[in-house]
Amino acid sequence: MSSLLYVLVFVILPVFCIAYAARSDARREHNEEVIRAAEEKALAEACARHEAEYAAAKAAEPKRKRGRPRKNPPLMPAEAITQRPATISEPPKAAPIERPEFISAAPVVVERPASTIAPHGNNVFAGETVAFTGALPDMTRREAVEAVQRNGGKAFDEAMPVGTTILVVGDDPGRDKLDEADKRIEQVRKITPERFFEMLRRPLCLELDEFAALYAAELNAHNNTRKEA
């Protein structure tokens, strides 16, 4: 009994399993071939049907008349391109513009001596109150006061009021004004005569009518100089 069971389990059953698996594989391959053949047949029928429909539609369309191809214009020879027409003349060349002698390309800087008071102010002392102590080189005290007033500030010859903001210290200054300026050091600024003259020689700030009058005077003086020469 045991030998029969052994043969059944280890011999007959494996052979049966192998045979069943082989049959299943063969059946699956057959089914795949059948499906593939059916798909190819359906695809061929669809292609044939579409080709027939396309041929019928094309046959039903009216025939179009094909026009004659347009010819390109003849090319222009190279000689005609390089040759300029005889009717076109060269434009006349403009004459060069002559620059007047009194006009200079670079700005002209006129140095004024320290003792000369400018006729127009530059407002450099606007809002300032100026006092003087000591002698100024090349300028009197009265001329210095007038120069400050002409440039928009207030000036005092002898006194040093409370609102003084600038003290010009010249040669041999007075001790009292220097001590007073040191006490009000946050308010009073001490400058040298050289600094004072430098502020006076700054560029002029003129109104339009003043500039026109000054330019006309300079131009007339220049013309008179040329006539005399």
CB atoms within 10 A of CB 28: 10
CA distance 200 to 116: 10
Which two structure tokens, joined as six digits, stand for 135? 């002698």
Domains in the chain, number: 2
**Is residue 114 in a domain?**
no
Task: Say what the pTM is.
Answer: 0.39
Asked whether the CA dihedral 23, 27, 29, 33 is positive or negative, the reply is: positive
**Is residue 7 in a domain?**
yes
The confidence score (pLDDT) of residue 66 equals 60
**Is residue 210 in a domain?**
yes
Q: Read off the pLDDT of residues 148-163 as tens digits, 9 standing for 90 and up.
A: 998 889 999 888 988 9
The confidence score (pLDDT) of residue 217 equals 73
**Is residue 119 in a domain?**
no
The confidence score (pLDDT) of residue 49 equals 87
Contact (Cβ atoms closer than 8 angstroms) between residue 190 and residue 182: no
Q: Read off the pLDDT of residues 98-145 as tens digits, 9 standing for 90 and up.
A: 554 444 444 434 344 444 444 445 678 888 999 999 999 888 999 999
- The boundaries of the domain holding residue 38 are 1-58
